[in-house]
Chain A
Amino acid sequence: MQNKVDWKKYIIVLVITILLFLIAGALSGFFTDKKLQSIRTVQDKIATDILSSETQYSLLSELSCEDIGQGNLSDELNSIADKIAYSEQNLKYSDEVIELKKYYTLLEIKDYLLSKKIGERCGKRTPTVFYFYTTAENCTLCTKQGYVLTELRSKYPDLRVYSFDYNLDLSASNALLRIYDIKDTELPTLVINDKTKVTGFKSVADIEKLIPTLVKMKKDAEATSATSTKK
Chain B
Amino acid sequence: MEQVITTIFYCIAFLAVYVQVFFLVTFFERRKDILIRTEHIELTTYPSVTIVVPCYNEEKTVEGTINSILSLSYPADKLKISIVDDGSKDGTWDVVSKFAGHPQITLFAKENGGKHTALNHALASLTTDFVGCLDADSSVHPEALKRIMTYFDDKDTMAVAPSIVVRDPKTLIQYAQAVEYDMGHYMKKMLAFNGAIHVTPGPFSIFRKEVFENLGPYRKAHNTEDQEIALRMQKHGYKIEHAPDAYVFTNSPNTIPKLYRQRVRWIYGFIKNAIDYKELIFRSKYGNIGLFTIPSGMISISATIIMLSFTFYQWAKYIEHKAVQINTTGLSFSFSTVSFDFFYFSTKMAVFISVLLYTLVIFSLINGRSMIPGRKKLSWDIFLFVIIYSVVAPVWLLKSVWNAIWSRESSWTGERNVS
Contacts and interface: CB of A to CB of B under 8 A. Distances in A.
| A and B interact | yes
Interface of A: 1-6, 9-10, 12-14, 16-17, 20-21, 23-25, 27-28, 31-32, 34-35, 38, 83, 86, 90-91, 140, 143-144, 147-148, 150-151, 154, 203-204
Interface string B334-368: 10110000011011110111001000000000000
B196 to A, nearest CB: 9
14 contacts: A2-B156, A3-B285, A5-B284, A9-B22, A9-B25, A20-B17, A20-B21, A35-B343, A90-B348, A91-B347, A143-B324, A144-B324, A147-B325, A151-B329
B344 A3 contact: no
Size range of the interface on B? 35 or more
Contact of A21 (B337, B347, B353): B353
B21 A28 contact: no
Contacts of A203: 328
A90 B346 contact: yes
Interface of B: 14, 17-18, 21-22, 24-26, 29, 156, 194-195, 234, 237-239, 284-289, 291, 321, 324-325, 327-329, 332, 334, 336-337, 343-344, 346-349, 351-353, 356
Nearest to B351: A28
A38 B21 contact: no
Nearest to B16: A17
A28 B17 contact: no
Contacts, number: 94
A28 B348 contact: yes
A46 B352 CA distance: 33
A148 B329 contact: yes
Contact of A24 (B285, B346, B349): B349
B349 A13 contact: no
Contacts of A34: 347
A148 B332 CA distance: 11
A2 B195 contact: yes
Given A147-B325, A203-B328, A2 B238 contact: yes
A31 B347 contact: yes
Contacts of A21: 14, 17, 353
A231 B168 CA distance: 69
Nearest to B355: A24
Nearest to B339: A79
A95 B324 CA distance: 29
B33 to A, nearest CB: 15
